[in-house]
Chains A and B, each alone.
Chain A
């Protein structure tokens, strides 16, 4: 059986009196896609930020491939195999799409204390970057400035950058947010092809995406996981419906 690549134990994070993460525990098996859903304000992004290393939990543990990474910085986790996409698009707006992905490749291609040779002429960086852009469907837009890409294309770029670092663990924070129907379907299909090859934690509102992609679904409400199981189980659970829809009424 696939072993647990990520173990989260009793994670807690408070902002003043607000407990954004209130004792979250779960395991992610290697190759599994685990979706985290919940009403707005449930603390999903806070959770992702702690997993990615952008936020320090107040208490609790995160273990990755058997190693305690709770106090590891975000760059260090990236080198362990973490990759993250942000809820609010976070790309290099003043660089081209190709530059963006090439930078992600560069981060994992040896050290960057090289001061003379133009990075844009390094085939070992440009070629994998170009390939990655092709894979997500942005091949034709490689030389467009990221700021000039359409919103949906920028989201694709986010994912491309995350993948370009050859991660073992993908933390995707609402990857199809703000995308039109066709675009999000394309993205979902793309992510579907990753199933099994990567371990993915997916935070999403889009239920189609969740049910297509997830092996497991956890429901986060007020910083706590109130239910966890297969997508079908979650869909059928009255508890979940109440927590989710009742709250949103």
Chain B
């Protein structure tokens, strides 16, 4: 247990030091890279809540990246640059969309659930494409980053980096507390044995729905961050292959663990980056790698850490 905390502590320390190190060696590109990874890590943390702990195989999680991103983009389009408002709307809108989608989907199980979440994401994708006003297929640019009335300036890469880092750690801690709470215990129990949960008096539906909404809202925040990071928003944010990527981060990192999603995000995106540098056809290698990973590496990276057992 001690060794585990130590290793994770070192990781956090390294994250804290990245901007300084990058600036020192004159490769500020790494600040952007790691920041992007951390944003996806937040998305993965949110998915881990419903997938890893809740057992809900949602293939439509990328939808909330889109909802969050477009919330920021659309408000900016109309000249509203207040970050508090933008991000607040991003989170709220994502929560509402998750509520709507979840209310219908969460009642279903197994294969149906997977297909339905996929279908709804696709619906939002098509919605994004067909609304010409906001860029349609090409998306829209974000010319001005979210403004926080002088508190932080997101236009400064390093400041933005630390904002993302703080948010990532906060989200991870929040989920950590959540899964240990009464609510979290019921969620995990329902995943472990639904029949038993019903027999003792827990009806899983409200808990699944609530978890779905929380996860959606958190991913919406990631979407708002992503929009600021890339300075544009496009329907491609919601592409279902993106959902698949986030799922992989959760699996690769280790489901139902606290550090898992972050580890997975780093591993996957770094591997993608490396492969992409090698060949433009990197997906032909990544694909089989993912297959092998699923077949032989289920416990994920967090399973490699000392003292790993279900928290």
Contact = CB atoms under 8 A, between A and B. Distances in A.
Q: Does A touch B (CB under 8 Å) in the complex?
A: yes
A116 B177 contact: yes
Contacts of B202: 75, 107, 112
Interface stretch (A76-84, A174-182, A236-244): A76-84
Interface in B172-221: 177-178, 180-186, 188-189, 192-193, 195-203, 206-207, 210
Contact of A54 (B186, B192, B198): B198
Categorize the interface residue count of chain A.
35 or more
Contacts of A120: 180
A136 to B, nearest CB: 16
A99 B185 CA distance: 9
Contacts of A114: 181-183
Contacts of B200: 78, 83, 103-104, 107, 161, 165
B310 interface: yes
B199 A117 contact: no
B201 A75 contact: yes
Nearest to A103: B189
Contacts of A86: 195-196, 199
Contacts of B210: 113
A87 to B, nearest CB: 12
Interface of B: 177-178, 180-186, 188-189, 192-193, 195-203, 206-207, 210, 310
Interface of A: 52-54, 73-76, 78-79, 83-84, 86, 90-95, 99, 103-104, 106-108, 112-120, 122, 161, 165
22 contacts: A54-B199, A75-B198, A75-B201, A75-B203, A76-B203, A78-B200, A92-B196, A94-B310, A95-B189, A99-B185, A103-B185, A104-B200, A107-B200, A113-B183, A113-B210, A115-B181, A115-B183, A118-B180, A119-B181, A119-B182, A161-B196, A165-B201
